[in-house]
Amino acid sequence: MKFFEESRREVMKHIEKYMLEKMHEFLKPIDQIWQPSDLLPDSTRDTFFTEIKELQESAQGLSYDLVAVLIGDTITEEALPTYESWLAMVDGVDKGEHSGWMTWTRHWTAEENRHGDLLNKYLYLSGRVNMRAMEVSTQYLIADGFDIGTGTDPYRNFIYTSFQEMATNISHRRVASLAKRDGDVLLSKMCGVIAADEARHAKAYKHFISKIFEVDASEAMLAFEDMMRKKIVMPAHFLREVGLKIGQTFGHFTDAAERLKVYTAIDYVDILKTLIDEWQIESMTELNEAGEKARDYIVKLPDRLLRVAERMKNPMLEYKFSWIHG
Ligand SMILES: [Fe+2]
Ligand SMILES: [Fe+2]
């Protein structure tokens, strides 16, 4: 255990300099990046009420499932305290206030913070949402935390974030195009800018892992295998509504996302394929025996998962979320 921690520490220290080099490519400088107010009606202007009226009219065109997915996405984004504290607990990194990895985590958190902020304000103004019910779900999710199987291992954490940032990129991007289809151009723009952030984040975490593969291939491979065996669970898997038990709302949320093709089992396989490809898993040879076994498991996994995904039925409609009026 001691050796394990020490070698992780060494690797993370080594990777830190690559992260610091590219930090301002992966995370945009604060004075240059978009802010929620750039996209929202300005309450100091005379046109405020007309703009809200327009916003509400466009929001009327959104389908029930799309509103449900958008609320689930917003709650997921707003549970950011859970993710920040989880990243701050990771082993093998210097926890000092000004250390590289802590700086990364704070800057990443600052970027992420705008996502829930923007979507929450949009939903509040939209007139479609029971805000209190949604806020209760957000509070529950933050208080309940999550259990995603990474422990405090930095490798597993960054494999998880690589996967997860890609997944959020896909889902925000799809919500953007569905919003456009339903005539809500403003919402489409909002989800578009968020999706672009997620794409940068994904690029960052994938880069960190590829650097880890360069120096500690077998251990990284074992971590990747372990995460894939456990399956990558979404950070909102404990989602619930008032009166329900932990996690009872989550399946209804993912059903709506699956129905709309915002995020599907096929997307899961596609993300896995991308990671295998970008990390050059198949051609990796400098591995110990366990690492080789792990590699072979991972390489075969997409086909297996695809067969399962193709057999899955499109989930049926009808669940009524407490979050949505009418
Ligand atoms: Fe986000
Ligand atoms: Fe992100």
Q: Where are the domains of the chain?
A: 2-22+49-311
pLDDT value, residue 2 = 67
Average pLDDT along the chain: 95
Residue 138 has pLDDT above 70, yes or no: yes
**pLDDT tens, 65-97?**
999 999 999 999 999 999 999 999 999 888 888
Which whole number is the average pLDDT over 165-186? 98
Distance (Å) from CA 77 to ligand 2 centroid: 9
Q: How many CB atoms lie within 10 A of CB 320?
A: 9
Residues annotated within a binding site for Fe cation: 77, 112, 115, 165, 198, 201
156 pLDDT tier (thresholds 50, 70, 90)? very high
pLDDT value, residue 42 = 97
The CATH number of domain 2-22+49-311, selected from 1.10.287.1770, 1.10.620.20, 1.10.8.60, 3.40.50.300: 1.10.620.20
Residue 1 has pLDDT above 70, yes or no: no
**Annotation marks residue 165 as catalytic:** yes
Identity of the amino acid at 136: V
**Annotation marks residue 115 as catalytic:** yes
CA 202 – CA 197 distance, rounded (Å): 9
| Catalytic member of 73, 111, 112, 267 | 112
**Annotation marks residue 197 as catalytic:** yes
Predicted TM-score (pTM) of this structure: 0.96
Judge whether 118 and 36 are in contact, CB under 8 Å.
Answer: yes
The packing angle between helices 2-26 and 154-181, to 10°, is: 30
| Catalytic member of 65, 165, 182, 184 | 165
CA 293 – CA 271 distance, rounded (Å): 21
CA 203 – CA 21 distance, rounded (Å): 14
Residue 170 has pLDDT above 80, yes or no: yes
